[in-house]
Amino acid sequence: MTSSEDIKPARASLGDCNLCPHRRDLLTEGRCTPGDVCVRAMSGRQIERFFRVNPSLADDYAGDAFWERRAIAARYLSQKKLLPLIQDPDEVVRRVLAYRLPIEALDALIGDPDREVRVTIADRLPPDRVERLATDPDYLVRQYVARRLAPGRLFRMIRDPDRQVRVTVAERLPVESLGLMRDDPEPEVRLKVAERIGLGEVGLLISDPDWRVRARLAERLPPEALAPLLDDPDPDVRAIAEERTARNPAKGTP
């Protein structure tokens, strides 16, 4: 069995100062420290500390062979050095760009193969430009689009193949258009429709097969319109309708 005395703390990754171009200036000036603040170490934490102390040197590492060094340097790069990295082969580098590129340059990453890059683009693009991602193959990207697209432009997403995307659409679609989603195959979507649809159209959902939808209607319908739900096959729906009718006898069904 290994004793506690045999367990030694992991040694910090050490970069080779002999191969480092900063050994004659930064090292002597105390702006880098072997095993702690070091750009040559194969350690993301040490590299991050190095650029935090020496942000002006990030441009020198935009084309470094080590992906993590490029990705961390990208957080500190000047704007003129960001654009050439759009074609970087590592997705972590491109994710940094998705956060840092100016809005007008984001279109170049709309078709990026990495999901996280496209999610960030969908989150940052202005509403009048995010529609280009409405047919993205990844549901999460489309959900971001559904959250940010102008409500009047959500019609094209009413039939989205993903349930959660359609739930988001039902939450934001103009009320006068919610009737277009009343026959959605997913009860979660129809429940959102029942919560928001205009009272003049609530009756369109009165025979919905899901009890939760009918229960929401029982909570929203005016008492004088609750008669169909007093005989609902679900006891919870009937209870809601009966309780609301009892509280409004003058408006209830005789």
Please state the domain extents for the chain: 126-197, 208-254
pLDDT confidence of residue 92? 96
**254 residues of the chain, pLDDT tens digit each:** 444 344 333 445 666 677 777 776 776 666 778 888 888 888 899 999 999 999 999 999 999 999 999 999 999 998 888 999 999 999 999 999 999 999 999 999 999 999 999 999 999 999 999 999 999 999 999 999 999 999 999 999 999 999 999 999 999 999 999 999 999 999 999 999 999 999 888 878 999 999 999 999 999 999 988 999 999 999 999 999 999 999 876 544 43
Residues making up the chain, counted from first to last: 254
Could you write out the DSSP letters of every residue in 144-157? HHHHHS-GGGGGGG
pTM above 0.85, yes or no: no
Per-residue pLDDT, 21: 78
Q: What is the per-residue pLDDT for 204?
A: 81
